[in-house]
Amino acid sequence: MTRNPVEKPILRKSRASVKVGTTVTKDNLKALGADRLADLLIELAGQDVALTRKLRMALTAVHAKDKLGKEVEKRLRTIQRSRGFLPWDRIRPLAAELDTLRQSILGDVASADVGQAISAMRLLVEIAPSVYERSDDSSGYLSDVFREAASDLGVLWGRQANRDPAIVVTDLLTLLDDDGYGTCDRLLAACGTALGETGAAMLRTMLLARLRDLPASKGNSDYHTDIARMQVIRHLRDLADAMGDVDAYSEAVSLSDRQYAYTGDVARRLLDKGRAREALDWLDRETEENSRFYKENDDLRIEAYEAVGDRDKAQALRWNVFRERLSLPHWKAYQRHLSDYDAIDAEEQALDHIRNFPNRSVVLSTLLEWPALDEAARLVRHHTAELDGRDYGTLRPAAERLSEAYPNEATLLYRLLVEAVLDRALSRYYAYAAKDLASCQRLAPMLTMAEGMESHETFMTRLKASHKRKLGFWSLIAVP
């Protein structure tokens, strides 16, 4: 008896497997082969000047690395000479090109010739004014690249063998003095290695001499003198950071007429150096009357108290911050340092304080974050009139959190949101109000008529009577 051969099943490629081969990925493109990819790139480059430049740079980096720096500078000078205004849709592409050039300088050019890389990176920094003057960089794309380039320049100076600290100081001051756009804000902080102790001492001496030579300030009307003084002091602070010298930083702050604005910065640096008592000394100079930054530095005070072993003061401040701001991170930190027995009493005391806090929206957010959903629902139920329907950032997430277990209270919040929009005829928010009303409709079957809760039908009747002329809104609603 002859046996029929077993037929092998026909394997069909799934759509997913077919799609994998056509998806633009590195592996799939490699499968095309070098010749095909080269043809595609040549075709595309013929239609895209930016791609042509990018390919030329890539080829130069491989076949003539010693000439790459000159190619980069050539392109930068072309950009510098351009005079046409840059429309908004060309800002991002230009920023991307400049960033690619920056990375080429820092990588390929610097690996071949650090001196050439320094020249090219400095040129990139120096063309910033000409680019800013013909563009609107409100997005910050261009300024981010230029600031990064300035920081890279400091790093490249540090990589240069046999560098002369005096030349670094001169070049650094020239760039800082000519900077009218904040391009070099990060430059000095990146120059620690480049300056070394010798260069840092020279620069500090020169900056202090400048400070002494400035005329005395004549008060609020003497804007130019004040700005010049602030710039020199900022350079002294940046220099101290570059050298990791917290004492020099605190001395620079002491030279300022606005030293309370930097009290926290000094304390932070002292704490990082393990000098908590000195940090407290600086923080103790502040009072609520003489510094608007006083409360911003509370976390530094807590950290310093803990570092010197004064747990009681740290706990007292944590509790005080919680009471003033309903800050749950401070409450949780406070609770972690309590015994189990004390934590129970403290929790009830904290909840009682939250319940009586005057700002009901803050209370609602805090109870949801605690989490205490039953308390949040009670707040909505008994203090609906004290909640502002315009506060959608609080009320809408609260309604979503409460909707499953507390549909009545969630509905009250959604209704507040709807009426806040309609009462003010805020037509641009009608779509949001329509979604909130749809949420009311969804929750309607779960409502209980306890404590005078208005039914969904009654609410809709009232809403239509009050806002029947708002046709733009009702056109979004499927009215039965």
**DSSP string covering 367-419:** HHHTT-HHHHHHHHHH-GGGS-TT-HHHHHHHHHHHTTT-HHHHHHHHHHHHH
| pLDDT band at 17; cut points 50, 70, 90 | very low
Q: What is the per-residue pLDDT across 319-338, written as a single tens digit (0 to 9) for each?
A: 999 999 999 999 999 999 99
| pLDDT band at 31; cut points 50, 70, 90 | confident
Q: Which among 320, 383, 392, 336 has a CA at the least distance from the CA of 356?
A: 383
- Side-chain-side CA neighbours of 383 within 13 Å: the count stands at 18
Single-letter amino acid, residue 102: R
Q: What is the per-residue pLDDT across 203-260, written as a single tens digit (0 to 9) for each?
A: 999 999 999 998 876 666 567 778 899 999 999 999 999 999 999 999 999 998 888 8
- pLDDT above 80 for 59: no
- pLDDT above 70 for 160: yes
The predicted model gives 73-102 an average pLDDT of: 93
| pLDDT band at 5; cut points 50, 70, 90 | very low
| CA–CA separation, 25 and 13 (whole Å) | 20
The predicted model gives 456-464 an average pLDDT of: 97
- pLDDT above 70 for 148: yes
| pLDDT band at 2; cut points 50, 70, 90 | very low
pTM: 0.79
Residue 8's pLDDT is: 46
Residue 54's pLDDT is: 73
Residue 67's pLDDT is: 78
- Any idea which of 2-16, 167-181, 184-198, 336-350 has the lowest mean pLDDT? 2-16
Structure tokens at 225: 């003198």
| CA–CA separation, 101 and 180 (whole Å) | 23
- pLDDT above 50 for 447: yes
